[in-house]
Amino acid sequence: AETDPRTDDGNPPAAPTTVVATHAGDTSVITFQASSSADTVGYRLYRSVNHGPYQRVSKVVIAGDEAKFTDSVNGGNLYGYYVTAVDVAGNESVPSKAAYTDGTSVDLSSLPPDGGQKTAPPDSKPGDGKNNEGTGGSETGTGSEPNKEHNAGSGSTGKEDQTPVKTPPAAPTGLSAKSTGGGVELNWKDNASKEKVKEYTVYYSEKENGKFEKIGTVANATQFKYYAVSYDGYYKVSATNEFGESKPSAAVKFKK
């Protein structure tokens, strides 16, 4: 059996550069400059339709092959693409800049490779403030005041009872929203550790009293970024542990 001569350098690979997306008929062509990391083994492609959330496309380009993807699409939509590099150890780079089929581009370097959700850094704990910088001056709308009825002990510190609960978590509090690079960034307070929250779910509605649709989940973090054609509206967040999902937070209004 052959042995791959490339060895892991211990770091994620550098992101690809110079991503260009062109569109003709029902086909998009995405070209890019290969990663500068010597241990890169391949590349992944992520797609956004009409500025919606990015999702991974089930295609790969092997390192050393032509740095190009082709994607079959609906000619009536606007498509955005970014590319990531993967190294011999399976580490994935941060996203390249996103290139759109209308010739524009957006820097999405703050997004992780999963296309829209940002998790806490490995050396930080959820809700310790490291992933909540810059929330001052955000649009707070109707969700700026904590929901006191469902927030006993939520996100607090000190001598609170640390006995694990055996019920769904309290509703998250402190939800805020601000504009970020063609989308909206949501931040909220971490639930009490005794609630053992596994993930937070984000919901969106154009109207305060309209139907809220699930737009994503995030684990080990209290921040979520959402990119779409229209993202003005109302957002809520719920928390989930092994006993179920909490009631939603108070809604926060966002208008760019």
To the nearest 10°, report the CA torsion of 141, 147, 148, 149: 150
Closest to 126 in 3D by CA, of 171, 189, 168 = 189
* Domains of the chain (ranges, CATH numbers): 17-106 (2.60.40.10), 141-254 (2.60.40.10)
Question: Burial letters for 217-244: b for 16+ Cβ neighbours within 10 Å, e otherwise?
Answer: ebebbbbbbbbbeebebbbbbbbbbeee
- Using DSSP, state whether 41 is helix, strand or coil: strand
Q: What are the distances in angstroms from CA 205 to CA 10, 145, 152, 254?
A: 42, 19, 27, 11
- pLDDT tens per residue, the chain (256 residues)? 454 556 666 788 999 999 999 988 899 999 999 999 999 999 999 998 888 888 888 888 998 899 999 999 987 889 999 999 998 888 888 889 999 998 988 876 545 444 433 333 333 333 333 333 333 333 333 333 333 333 333 444 455 566 777 899 999 999 999 987 667 889 999 999 999 999 999 999 989 999 998 888 888 889 888 766 567 899 999 999 999 999 999 999 998 7
- Evaluated on CA atoms 216, 219, 224, 227, the torsion sign reads negative
d(CA 15, CA 83): 8
* Spatial separation of the C-alpha atoms in residues 62 and 65, rounded to whole Å: 6
Question: What is the maximal distance between C-alpha atoms in the chain?
Answer: 63
6, HSE (Cβ side, Cα atoms, 13 Å) = 17
Closest CA to 251 of 142, 123, 167, 152: 142
